A = this chain, B = another copy of it.
Amino acid sequence: MVSASFGDTQTQILDAAEQLFAEQGFGATSLRSIIRAADVNLAAIHYHFGSKEKLIVATIERMAQPIVQAELKQLAAVQAEHPQPTVEAILHAMLAPALEIVYHGQGDRGLTQARLMGRCRTEPTIEPIGAQAFAKSSQTFLTALQQALPDQSTSELTWKFDLVIAMLIRVLCAADQPNAILQDNSPAETAAAIERLVHFAAAGMKS
């Protein structure tokens, strides 16, 4: 397979699908609205991706892979510095990459990707696909939290971890609403929002 160059049909389809899936959800977005936005033919989607579901999988994986890699890289850096990192340091490595793409993406692309990540957990049909895309990250961070909080049982840490992810998802989905934790896309404001969220989540994890 040839790697997609800029303006490629596949890339045009993925870009349009990413934006529309993020805005409207997966089930509510028709292939016809995607081909209108991408300015391609309807048959091109089936030629390149096979079906709507395979397009959804490809869209999610393209969004998730850089985030998972960044999360694992930050955790590895933290662990290399301190053999036993604090809960705050682990949560920072876990939450920062997803929030940072909001302003690292070119134009509105970052906000779109953030919403798409959040949307992976809002539709029951889609949730397994999203869980699969983020599985490696989830397992690694849950293990790190168990080492940092050895007094808490696995089941307790599991539902707390789940609640922290739920908070991240909410922050991502509500990133453009008034009174959101993330007020604007500036690097300084994003860094401050990450600290607020880490602090809030760490207090709950230790409770």
Contacts and interface: CB of A to CB of B under 8 A. Distances in A.
Dominant SS among interface residues on chain A: helix
B163 A124 contact: no
Sort chain A's interface into a size bin.
20 to 34
Contact of A162 (B24, B158, B160, B170): B170
A107 B180 CA distance: 38
B123 A25 contact: yes
Interface string A67-102: 000000000000000000000000000000000000
A151 to B, nearest CB: 15
A89 to B, nearest CB: 16
A128 B160 CA distance: 28
Interface in A1-46: 23-25, 27-28
Interface stretch (A49-57, A58-66, A199-207): A199-207
Given A200-B207, A204-B203, A163 B170 contact: yes
Interface string A150-188: 000001101110110011011100100001110000000
9 contacts: A23-B124, A25-B27, A28-B123, A28-B125, A122-B122, A122-B123, A163-B181, A167-B167, A203-B207
Contacts of A169: 166
Interface of A: 23-25, 27-28, 122-125, 155-156, 158-160, 162-163, 166-167, 169-171, 174, 179-181, 196, 199-204, 206-207
Contact of A207 (B24, B124, B199): B199
A204 to B, nearest CB: 4
Contacts of A166: 166-167, 169-170
A124 B25 contact: yes
